[in-house]
Structure formats: structure tokens, C-alpha cells
Amino acid sequence: MVTRDPRAAAMTEAELMEYVRTAVKDLGLLAYHAHDGRKSWGPGFPDLVIVGRGGCIYRECKTEHGSLSPEQRQWGDALKRAGQNWRVWRPADRLAGSIARELADLAAVQLALFGSTP
């Protein structure tokens, strides 16, 4: 997704991850963050595994113009082929409210309780 919103272009991956971390905590979800997958057995493993009453998702967080490594693409393709919910989150997704909606669905709560962003 490419956006012309300067706020999305200026947002760092760390800022995006902090937003997700706060939302996950506020919604009572469980999450695991792979701090540096390059040092593990499975380089390219998604940044986040998030679990709630509504299921489990795998998410890679990138800046607005950041690209996936070949290993990240391989993991994403393998997870999708296995029927798992994998995708990339970018700052434009946060600004559009889609991350908040996905996390609320995962927590099985009404987003209206939290407004547009938890």
C-alpha cells in the first residue's frame, strides 16, 4: 500500500510497533515479538504473533516504503499456504484504522468501545 499521507511516510517501524504493543496490551491479547529473527533458526520469521479469542495472526511490520527480505517473503508465503493469517502492517494501516479493527476482531470485542484506535 502506497500512501501520500506525510504522517505515514514519517512514521518509523519502532513507532508502529509501539502503537501495536499498546493496543495489544489494552485489548488483553497475547503477543510475541521476534526481536531479531536474523539470529534465530528461522530468519525472516514474522515480527509478531498475536493471539486472542478470535484466533492467531502473524504480522510483519514495515515502514511505509520498507521492503520484505526474501526470507520474510518465504515465511509469509509458507504461512499463507498453511492457512495462517499473515500480512504486512504499515503506517498507512495504522492511520486508516485497519490495525485497530484487526486487533479488536482478534480480541473479539466491539471496536466502538474504544473509538477508532484503541
- Condensed to tens digits (0 to 9), the pLDDT of residues 57-69 reads 999 999 999 999 9
Closest CA to 46 of 71, 29, 21: 71
97: its cell numbers: 484504522
| Encoded amino acid at 36, one letter | D
- Give the global pTM: 0.86
pLDDT in tens, 64-88: 999 999 999 999 999 999 999 999 9
pLDDT at 1 over 50: no
